[in-house]
Structure formats: structure tokens, C-alpha cells
Chain A
Amino acid sequence: MTLTLDAPRIVETRPLLEVKAVSKSYGPVQAVRNVSAHAYPGEVLGIVGESGSGKSTLLRMMNLEEIPETGSYTLDLPDVSGNLFELDRFARRMLCATKIGIVYQNPHLGLLMKHSSSGNVAERLLVAGERSFATLRQAATEALDASEFPLDRLDAPPIELSGGMQQRVQLAKAIALEPALLLLDEPTTGLDVSVQALVLDTLKRLQQDRQITMVIVSHDLGVIRTLADRVMVMRRGEVVETGLADQIFQDPQHPYTQQLVHAKL
């Protein structure tokens, strides 16, 4: 059939993120089965696949919210070493707060809906140890501005904001500490099409300006096509195919990927 690809020879940097052979079951349901994934510094990895295929579970593992039964996770960053799944609770929490940002499809998962928007962002900085009110306010404002949140709504609680604005608050919170890794789970799903385009545009901009490494899960292949350098296709807890984004969309190999891509064309 197709050729097996060689290991990298030109690019000598190590992947920033490397997940190896992770598996996770919930009772009788095996959500993730022996999955490995990696992302190079500055790369955007897209994950697509059918509902229930384990994408969110995998992303939660990358955010250290979920610990798999087997497998390892490393981040190639200064002061970070070893299998991160073996860290204790406190160390995991610190690592997440300082190195990893996450945006969920459901803003209720990522935000305190009744606190002010700037407070939501500042909370992230508090966890990381910042105590000066002026610095907190300043940093939160900058992150919200970079996420293209209207600054006259800084004090509004997310519950009073539109879906697109709530996603910008989540995004600001995620990037406030300039994380090395940004995880996005369906960040534009459920938004109006026009708002979707704006949020997508903001993400693209952040990626280009900051060269941030991202992992993005989406059912919207347009979103993946716009953002991802490489794409991983999941089905029933397993990876069926990975490749350069243009190759996955133009010359999909696996029957499931062909069905997925052709259905959306």
C-alpha cells in the first residue's frame, strides 16, 4: 500500500509535546486505546474524528486533568522533566497554570460565570503566584486585548456576554501566562457562523504572532483546515491516520478519513 515514512532527518528539534501509548477506560467503555501523539514547537496539531472517539479525553490528559491507566506524557520545556502523569496533584496544578492554556467548547467548564471577565483572567495569574493588584489588572487587560475582547466590558461577568465573547475570555485566560501549549476543544462550535470566523481569525493571529504550539479538536473541518499544520484522525479511541493537513484533506488513506472528508466537501 503506501510507504512508511522515515523519522525526521532535517528538523532536529524535539517535539514540544509527546504523548506515548496512552489508554483510558471508563467502566466498560475504552475511551482511548494506545494513542500516541506529538507536536513540534510552534506547530498546530488538529484532531478530528467521530463523536465519542476519545478526542476530548485525550485533550484532558494533555491538560493533566485526566490520568490514563498506561502511557507517558512529556513536555520539552525548561524545568519540566519526566513522565508528567507521575507528578503529584500540586505539581500538576502549577504546571497547568503556568505552561498550558485550555479553551473548552462549554465556557461553563473554563470560567466562573458570575465573576468579572477580567477577574476570571486574573485568577489564572493568582494561581501562578502573582499578588500585586495593579499587575494582575494590567496583565488581564493585555490578555483580553490580545484576544480581541472589547475592553469596555472588562467588568462584565461572562454570564452576561455573548458566546463569542465568552470564548474570548476563555482564550484570554488561557494565554495570560504565555503558555507553551494551548489546547482547544471545539473552540468555535455553537457560535454563529460570523462570530466563528472572528474567533478563528483571532486564533490564527495569536498563532502567527506568538508561534504558540497548539492542539485543536474540532468537528468543523474548515477550522482544522485553516489552523492545523498536521492532522490526526481518531475513531473508536484509536488513531487511524495522521499526516500533513493538506494531505489528509486531499489524499486521505483510511476508509474512515475518506468518508469524513468527502462528506464535508
Chain B
Amino acid sequence: MTQVLEIDRLTKGFSLHHLEKDIAAFEDISFSVAAGEFVLLKGANGAGKSTLLRTLYRSYLPLSGEIRFHSSHGMIDLARAADVDVAHLRRTEIGFVTQFLTARPRVSAEAIVAEPLRLAGWEHEAALKTARKALETFGVKPDLWAAYPTTFSGGEQQKVNLARALILPQKLLMLDEPTASLDANARRALVARLQELKDQGTAMIGVFHHPDDVIHLIDRVVDLTPDAAPQEDRDDVAL
């Protein structure tokens, strides 16, 4: 198996200076994710699932440990990588799907979805065509494609968000409860797209409120509850 990510004794906490308080989020976490592998993160509220994903994406700075990412430019430790390198990898190899769309005024749904393709050098018309197909797959009505998502419903915005986040296959994809506020059809479309990406070799780490949705995608479960067994095979685990 080709490793994509090796997380090695990663520790994260927050120092809240005005409260003179240190909050521990997680300590000495180690696990790896291979190409095409899907790792489910579990743990109670506050166990640190979102914090771990944000630390891997470098929205949060880790306190110690290593995040060895096997990029197309070679191995790089995301815990220490320069900001500009992280920004570059986010545009090209590392994706993060959250629950919320950052809609921008006067940018149409199809343009938002096409943007990652445009940044990757796609020609305008081809990018739009692919973007519209993705919107259709997630069940966004055609009359909304050219409209501005700032006025869309929560569910519609989330569909646009997913279409955009999943349009380009990436080496590593992080998902933080992406099914929240989705209807059954959109959930099915999401799972189908994730299966496609998995088959193409994307390594995935996800948090799902209802893991039933993605049960047949899961290869391994990592439990962030302190003192939990470090890694479990999906066959032995009750989700």
C-alpha cells in the first residue's frame, strides 16, 4: 500500500492567554492513511475530531509531532511546512469538506464549483460543463446554477459546497460531518462520489454523525476517546 499520510505522535492543545488556561485537545496520536483508504474518526463531543482535521489542514498549529504527507513533490511534514507550501498543497492536493459554504457575493453557483478546475488550468467552457454536471449530481436545480448562492437554503448551499470540494480528485481529503443538512438523495450522491474518489486512490479521513451513510467505504476506525484502543479494524467495531 502506498502511504499518503503518516501521523506521528501528534499533540494539540490551546493556550488561552486571557484565561491563563491550557486546553488539551489530543495527545500523541499516531496513525497512517494509504492511498484509497478511508479512515473514520470517532469519539464523543469534544474528543478532538474537528481539531485533528483542522490541525492536519494546518488551520490549527500542532504543539508537537509530525504529519508526514507524501506529496507529488516528495515527503513534507505539514506540522512544520512553510505557510506558502501549505497554501500550495491546499490548492492542488489536500481538500477539506466542511459543513458550510463560504458564498461570495456576485459569484454564481456554477462559477464557485468551477473555480478549482480553473485554478488547475482547465479551459473556461470545459470547467463550467463539468461544474454543471456536478451540481446536477448533487441535485441542485438547473435554474439555480447561474444564481448567487448567498440566497440559497442551507441544504442547497451545502450541495454547492460539496460539488466544489469534490470536483477535483485530491491525494488527501478531509471531511467534517459533510452530511449534516443534506437530504437523502444528496447523501447518496455524496457517498457515490466518495466511492469514485476512493477508487481513484484518494486517501480520506472523515467524521460522520451517522456513519451508516458511509459504512461500506470505511476501512479503519480511529477512536479519539482518551485511552481507547489506538486503531480498530472496521470488522471488529460497532459503529
A interface, CB within 8 angstroms of B: 1-11, 40, 43, 197, 201, 204-205, 229-230, 242-244, 246-247, 250-251, 253, 255, 258-259, 262
Contacts and interface: CB of A to CB of B under 8 A. Distances in A.
B105 interface: yes
Contact of B89 (A7, A10, A205, A255): A10
Interface stretch (B33-41, B59-67, B152-160, B163-171): B59-67
Contacts of A258: 16-18
Q: Which of A43, A246, A251, A262 has the most CB of B within 10 A?
A: A251
A182 B76 CA distance: 32
B85 A11 contact: yes
A244 B18 contact: no
Range, interface on chain B? 20 to 34
B61 A255 contact: no
10 contacts: A1-B15, A5-B80, A8-B82, A8-B85, A10-B73, A10-B76, A253-B61, A255-B17, A258-B17, A258-B18
Interface string B41-65: 0000000000000100011111110
Nearest to B106: A201
Nearest to B83: A244
A2 B61 contact: yes
B59 A4 contact: no
Interface string B73-98: 10011011111111111000000000
Contacts, number: 84
Nearest to B75: A9
A201 B104 CA distance: 8
B30 interface: no
Given A201-B106, A229-B87, A250-B54, A7 B61 contact: no
B26 to A, nearest CB: 14
B71 interface: yes
A251 B89 contact: no
Interface of B: 14-18, 54, 58-64, 71, 73, 76-77, 79-89, 104-106
Given A9-B85, A201-B106, A3 B17 contact: no
A243 B83 contact: yes
A201 B73 contact: no
B59 A8 contact: no
Contact of B59 (A1, A3, A230, A251): A251
Contacts of B63: 1-3
A4 B61 contact: no
B18 A259 contact: yes
Given A6-B82, A10-B89, A251-B14, A197 B58 contact: no
Contact of B73 (A7, A9, A246): A9
Give the one of A5, A201, A253 with max B CB within 10 A: A5
B183 to A, nearest CB: 29
Contacts of B88: 10-11
A3 B58 CA distance: 12
A250 B59 contact: yes
Given A10-B76, A247-B58, 15 more contacts: A3-B62, A5-B82, A9-B76, A9-B82, A9-B85, A10-B71, A11-B82, A43-B84, A201-B105, A246-B59, A247-B61, A250-B54, A251-B59, A253-B61, A258-B18
Contacts of B73: 9-10
A40 B82 CA distance: 12
B82 A7 contact: yes
A251 B105 contact: no
Given A2-B61, A244-B59, A246-B59, A11 B79 contact: no
A246 B89 CA distance: 15
B87 A255 contact: no
B122 to A, nearest CB: 15
A204 B115 CA distance: 14
A246 B18 CA distance: 21
Contacts of B104: 201, 204
Contacts of A43: 84, 87
Contacts of B79: 3
